[in-house]
């Protein structure tokens, strides 16, 4: 087990689209264990593989407030989301100390593979739905500030990301 380096906002790896995992082998399982350790050390509730410099479609998410239940999803995909949206505060391990009000769907239905390669489907709502949407966005090179309206996005970039596209 290893604590991995969390890539920060200016790292170009965060803007790239991830590749689908074709085979779940020892290397993928070790990456997942390392991601869980890294998320815990960073006191996050979710972590996507590109945040540790790996362009594979893998996320880990803490599904309870005590941090005792963690779900690892391989090739996760939102297959359905509610039209009803809500605003909520989001942070990101790649943007330490920055929190933004982001509008997201209240409910989502997710399809993915578990660590054993078994297909799973489930629904999430509220905060957990928000976490899944945030982490899956990372797999497509979308950062949470990209979800702001154009004016707020420009203001955010000027304040926090001078010189960052």
Catalytic positions are 135
* Helical segments of the chain, H only: 26-41, 126-139, 150-160
Inter-residue contact 164 to 9 (CB < 8 Å)? yes
Task: Enter the DSSP assignment of 70.
Answer: E
Q: Give the long-range contacts of residues 125-132, CB within 8 A, separation 24 or more.
A: 127/88, 128/61, 128/63, 129/81, 129/104, 129/105, 130/88, 130/90, 130/102, 130/104, 131/45, 131/46, 131/61, 131/62, 132/46, 132/59, 132/61, 132/76, 132/78, 132/108
């Amino acid at each position: 087990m290893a604590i991995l380096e969390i890539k920060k906002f200016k790292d170009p790896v965060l803007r790239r689209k991830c590749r689908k995992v074709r085979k779940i082998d020892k290397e993928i399982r070790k990456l997942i264990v390392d991601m869980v350790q890294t998320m815990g050390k960073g006191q996050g509730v979710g972590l996507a593989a590109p945040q540790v410099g790996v362009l594979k479609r893998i996320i880990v998410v803490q599904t309870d407030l005590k941090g005792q239940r963690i779900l690892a999803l391989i090739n996760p995909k939102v297959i359905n989301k509610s039209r009803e949206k809500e605003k909520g505060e989001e942070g990101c391990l790649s943007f330490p100390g920055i929190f933004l009000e982001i509008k997201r769907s209240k409910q989502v239905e997710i399809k993915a593979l578990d660590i054993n390669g078994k297909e799973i489907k489930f629904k999430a709502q509220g905060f957990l739905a928000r976490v899944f949407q945030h982490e899956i966005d990372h797999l497509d090179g979308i950062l949470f500030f990209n979800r702001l309206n154009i004016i707020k996005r420009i203001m955010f970039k000027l304040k926090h990301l001078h010189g960052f596209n």
